[in-house]
Amino acid sequence: MSNPYLNFIGGRWVPARSGRTFFNTNPATGEMLGEFPASGPEDVADAVEAARIAYRSWRLVPAPKRAEILYRAGEIIRDRKEELARAMTREMGKTLAETRGDVQEGIDMAYLAAGEGRRLYGVTTPSEMPNKWAMSARVPIGVVGAITPWNFPFAIPSWKLMPALVAGNTAVFKPAGDTPEMAWHFARVFEEAGLPSGVLNLVFGSGSQVGDPIVAHPGIQVISFTGSTEVGLAINAQAGRLGKRVSLEMGGKNAVIVLDDADLALATDAIVWSAFGTTGQRCTACSRVLVHERVHDDLAQRVAERAKALRLGDGLDPATEVGPLVNGRQVETVERYVAIGRAEGALTAGGERATQGALGRGHFYRPTVFADVRADARVAVEEIFGPVLAMVKVKSLEEAVEINNASMYGLSSALFTRDVNRAFQAMRDLETGIVYVNHGTTGAETHLPFGGTRGTGNGHREAGHTMLDPFTEWKSIYVDFSGHLQRAQIDNN
């Protein structure tokens, strides 16, 4: 049987020009899942040319008609939700409950973005001159380069590509090498939904061979990237020199603040889910708890007991609560930080690989909790992207907010309290793009903007009512029906 996994360029499924391939494996079992094109700059060039040609006609398709294709894509994704969720669990490891949620975000975004096809609101405003009309309108920019990570391999492409397409742009899509199959499914959905050839192009391959050429290609006007802060800032520097629009969603070091009046049972539930859901491999994961000194020991004990009891395993097993890390490199990173953390706090749970039985075939690490950690400790400051939690004592809400805001990241924060006054104080003072009250740091909904401050982002937001901002330009339009020359500012004095 021939390899079904190919690049999608100009409406055709094609191998890499070089003929090279790479393999995709299951992080829970080591099973080989498929062989994908290891593409290069020449494949990127083909994809950009296809997108550039398609843009000429796609931008002229009425936006409500573009939206109809997104609606159809949403219906297809909905019908295949379970199939897609199971494929995602095999590919990146998180539990079926979580991959179903990931696919559901794709459904939600399809409907939300499609709704913009009948809005795409501009603004009309009175002119300062008589018999003159003034208005502004959103217009597409051109070809979008979308570079996405492996932890949400269906949701994040949806956040980027669906708004870009409904606005009238075309796209070149580079998925993460650890989750190529979900990108293949994504492109197939849009092919089936009737997206014209060349509007969406999919190119598999590495960051150096595909990602860098996308950033550098003069035919791409917009770069939308989600990944590490280090890579994102490098992209920003290169694309900025080329005058490109850049939207970045990068790292996080998210804190849950627990005050002394909090419901500790509720806080424990939320912390365990936020810290160890997706095996800690979320940009919104809770990786530090800033807890009032009067309840620190009680909360630390509760969280450690729950962490120890979490069941590790293949995400396809309904009993599994924590799946594997995505690859061996992530396990090694977690091991390095745990070694550092042993000198920075009290290890109360985890701290080792899980290798017994079937777990030995995959990339498993036990959920790990450090208590009584200094606020400036490395495990409390640096992004780990794994199942490691640091608990830090604080004396007040004000101290907790100060520690939270001192982070180089600013994506998500949360507060547990029964005091409405302190809740509103925190909502005002926490300098993160997302704030939760009496909830963990994860759980964003698609109809609100998603993104962060400082080292987490560069000012753009994904999803919500801001979804079109990275992918559209504003055009101001004046219509003078006075019949004679009117010089604004000169004649209006």
Whole-angstrom distance, CA of residue 311 vs CA of residue 488? 70
Whole-angstrom distance, CA of residue 40 vs CA of residue 204? 9
- Helix H or strand E segment including 235: helix 229-241
| First-to-last C-alpha distance (Å) of the chain | 77
In one letter, which amino acid is 250? Answer: M
Using DSSP, state whether 225 is helix, strand or coil: strand
Structure tokens at 433: 């793009």
249 in active site: yes
- b/e per residue 341-374 (b: at least 16 CB within 10 A): beebbebbbbbebbeeeebebbbbbbbbbbbbbe
**Choice among 283, 286, 321, 344 that is catalytic:** 283
CA distances in angstroms from 131 to 127, 135, 360, listed in the order given: 8, 14, 77
**Choice among 91, 116, 249, 462 that is catalytic:** 249
Q: Residue ranges of the alpha helices (H) in 80-120?
A: 81-92, 96-115
Structure tokens at 270: 């939320």
Residue from 255, 34, 280 nearest 151 by CA:
280
In one letter, which amino acid is 25? Answer: T
Q: Which residues are catalytic?
A: 249, 283
